[in-house]
A and B are shown apart, each in its own frame.
Chain A
Amino acid sequence: MTKVTDEIVEIDEDTQKDKFLTFKIGNENYGIEINYVTEIIGIQEITQVPELPEYVRGIINLRGKIIPVMDVRLRFKKEPIEYNDRTCIVVIDIMDISIGLIVDSVSEVMNINDENIVPPPDIKTGFHTRYVKGFGKVGNDVKLLLDCDKLLNDDEISNLTNSF
């Protein structure tokens, strides 16, 4: 009996395991673990807040809850583009901090098994590998799997000095 319930619990946890939400920024495909994601909303009016780094665009009102939004494009030092109806805000929740990630477009939820994930190379080849904790292979495509924790908490200035 206990074995059965154990299995059920395992299955329950398994439904979120290995699942990634993939989205596009420019030509690259990124993925984040699905259990961080609370919801996906369309772009909405953002209130500017002074003194913030450029990539934190401001705050939005998510049904009474006020959350900051970060433009992932700007975070990765890419050229900003005009927001359009494909632009999405992916709301993620990490250690009780809710934050919205502005991405060019959301693609799909897909399974990427552990054996298809390769860790990033040791040598820092580019700026944004700092936030990538692995490369997921899906067919011929490669998805860059983001480390949400680093995305939020890494101090940008220390990154700059390290990488260049």
Chain B
Amino acid sequence: MASKIGREPMLDMFIFETLQQLEELEQIVISSEKTNGLTESAISEIFRIMHTIKGSSAMMLFNNITSLSHSIEDLFYFIRNDKPQNLDNSELADKVLESVDFIKVEMNKISNDEDVDGDAMSLIEDIKMFLAQLKKDNPAVKIQDEIQIIKKETSQKYYITQSKIQPLVEKNTFKAIILYQSGCEMENIRAFTLIHNLKELTDEIWYNPSDIIDNDSSVDIIKRDGFRVLFKCEKTVREMNSFFEQIPFIEKLELEEVSYEDEIDQFLEKRKIVLEDSIFNIEKAEKNKDSATERDIQIGSTGQSIISVNISKLDKLMDLVGELVISEAMVTQNPDLRNLVLDNFQKSARQLKKITTELQDVVMSIRMVPISTTFLKMNRIVRDMSKRLDKEVKLQLIGEETEVDKNIIDHISDPLMHLIRNSIDHGLESTTKRVASGKSETGVITLEAKNAGGDVLIQVKDDGAGLDREKILKIARSKGLFNKPEKELTDKEVYSFIFLPGFSTNDKVTEFSGRGVGMDVVVKNIQNVGGSVSIDSTPNVGTTITLKIPLTLAIIDGMTIRVGKSRYTIPITNIRESIKVEENSVIKDPNGNEMVFIKEQCYPILRLHRHFKVNTNITDITKGIIIKVEVDDKALCIFADELVGEQLVVVKALPKYIKKIKGVEGCTLMGDGGISLILDIPGFLNNQ
């Protein structure tokens, strides 16, 4: 079915919006389950979301989604209007979440271009049963609603007839002044009847006084001045005369055909004001009556202020801005301008620089998104797991407003999910065990994000039993993982074994974890985005796993160095210090490897010019500069010609044709349009 729909942008939009709404729905359900009861606003919100999904999926012809969301909509319609008393919140939440999962699976199929063939029938039946049960328990009261609907419809009809009043030129225009027989009484009622009769002939009637029914004084005016009517119809004067003759109690009739423009204006103007007024009033009344709908509309319109943009467009934008910054430098620092006094030019150039810098900041900030969406997803996992494993778990979120580059967010969602699962399954003890060891019944998992320089630290902390050193050692022993004597292993090293592939301390394989796949995947995923994972644990207090992730992949703070004609950039986070060394602090071992003493410590020297085979005049170690770099307790001294300067650089990948180069993780464009290679310091260190 999906393949028939060739309108990709629309499908994209549908997937994006529906997924967003499902996420929202999930949060509402979970949070209201926590507070033990659905608030009225939550119910109408769920109703609204389901209604939207129903509508859009029907439009896209995904019938199974439509019928499922329809049944949920029905359910919540009932809950909203009848407010049943004995509602089983937990069961309701289950039903909704199951449906959300179903739709998510289907959405996944849609985005993968597969056939949307999931069968929602059993789910729908379930929901219908649930609803039927609810209805049985709570006899329905619906009358109020229906009345409201009728009211609304009638008022709308009225509004439409009013708007029909529009002058047409083709017809004859008549002016009539009617004087009723004295003593006939109720002149206003008679006038009204007359207007009513006239309405059968024409839509276009203006009369004076206009408020014949509502205003009693109109009787006097009609008595004194007569009832003045202006109308347009296709009839001739004679036909109209005979029409009026049929009307009783008319004393005197002045009927004449008039030209439209002349006579109608004064009438029309007065009437128009009244007309507009009344329309306005109707609108106002309707607004008040249906404030709920209006709120919905407002919610809809605030949603419009956010647009979704393809990330590749942002990448392109960032490239262009990078280009702009370079071109700006090329213009303002053009060699042709050297030694010229150009006050006005300099002023404009400064202005340009200010704007480009600002533009660069804005583009960078667009890519930064708060981590909260990823964190909130974890609520669902905690809920499901705690239900299945029958453990009381509370998820505490700290610092979810921390902003991280969009690319990175996408990469940490899965690892976090693994870690949370592990924490609940292995970390937290069963409720009975917890009580026995004097802890509160509810286990607490803390998910915390914070900025630390150019990195974001994400911690998953549980207050469970902690890691079992002996157990890990035993497994490590059986798998032969030791690389040094057992006694010398620090706690941290022992704990790090669990990051190795195929390592599981869990005896049983459960639905969620224990297969030994997971931790190594976590580590790999985090390393892919340039981060690292560390673990800390205290017996009976808990385990903390810390993910250290760079704030952004796209931009790094780098120190540019020069070797010969080539330039290289070292990420500033890797640099500890840079120094000039004396001849006597450098020593050579028998193999010719050079080493340098800095503050009583000995470090190996890596000569970049030799390593990369670059021609340079500076080979004397005292003439160049030594940069000490460090990653995870490993250190190395890099020898280069000179430091060029520190700056923020936009990381670009090497072209596809050039495959992975050892020691180079990318390249960046310099202010003068040249290219600098970004050194892969961890790569260097691991080669040592």
Which A residues form the contact surface with B (CB < 8 A)?
Answer: 45, 47-52, 56, 59-61, 63-64, 66-68, 96-99, 152
Q: Which 6 A-B pairs have the closest CB atoms?
A: A47-B675, A50-B612, A64-B323, A68-B655, A68-B657, A51-B661
Residue from A48, A59, A64 with most neighbouring chain B CB atoms (10 Å): A64
14 contacts between A and B (CB under 8 A): A47-B674, A47-B675, A48-B614, A49-B654, A49-B677, A50-B611, A50-B663, A56-B657, A61-B673, A63-B323, A64-B323, A97-B655, A99-B657, A152-B657
Q: B658 touches which one: A45, A52, A61, A64 (CB < 8 A)? A: A52
Tell me which residues across on chain A come within 8 A of B652, comparing CB atoms. 66
Residue of A nearest to B658 (CB): A68
Assembly CA distance A59 to B670 (angstroms):
14
On chain B, the residues within 8 Å of A60 by CB distance are 675
Bound CA–CA A64/B655 (angstroms):
12
Cα-based distance from A98 to B657 in the complex (angstroms): 8
B664 at the binding interface (Cβ < 8 Å): yes
CA gap between A96 and B657 in the complex, in Å: 10
Which residues of the other chain, B, contact A97 by a CB distance below 8 angstroms?
Answer: 655-657
**CB-CB nearest in chain A for B676:** A47
Kindly state whether residue B319 has any CB partner on chain A within 8 Å. Answer: yes
- Complex: A58 Cα to B159 Cα, angstroms: 75
Smallest Cβ-Cβ distance to B615: which chain A residue: A48
- Complex Cα spacing A98 to B661, Å: 18
Taking a contact as CB atoms under 8 Å apart, the answer to whether A64 and B322 are in contact is yes
Residues from chain A with a CB closer than 8 A to the CB of B673 are: 61
CB-based contact B675/A52 at 8 Å: no
Query: Contact check: which of B322, B611, B658 meets A56 at CB < 8 Å?
Result: B658
Are A64's CB and B669's CB within 8 A? yes
**CB-defined contacts of A49 to chain B, threshold 8 Å:** 654, 658, 661, 664, 677
In the complex, chain A residues whose CB is within 8 Å of the CB of B142: none
A3 to B673 alpha-carbon distance, docked (Å): 50
| Contact status A45-B674, CB under 8 Å | yes
Q: Which chain B positions have C-beta within 8 A of A98?
A: 655
Most buried by A among B323, B613, B675: B675
- List, in ascending order, chain B residues with CB within 8 A of A66's CB: 652, 654-655, 667, 669, 675
Q: In the bound complex, do residue B657 and residue A47 qualify as a contact, i.e. CB atoms below 8 Å apart?
A: no
Indicate whether B320 reaches chain A with its CB closer than 8 angstroms: yes
Contacts of B658 in A (CB 8 A): 49, 52, 56, 59, 68
Say if the beta carbon of B662 comes within 8 Å of chain A: yes
Bound CA–CA A99/B656 (angstroms): 10
Q: How many angstroms from the CA of A98 to the CA of B676 in the assembled complex?
A: 19
B236 within 8 A of A: no
Whether A52 contacts B677 by the Cβ 8 Å rule is: no
Give Cα A63 to B657, complex, Å.
Answer: 18
Name the B residues within 8 Å of A56 (CB-CB). Answer: 657-658
Find chain A residues with CB under 8 A from B655 CB: 59, 66-68, 97-99
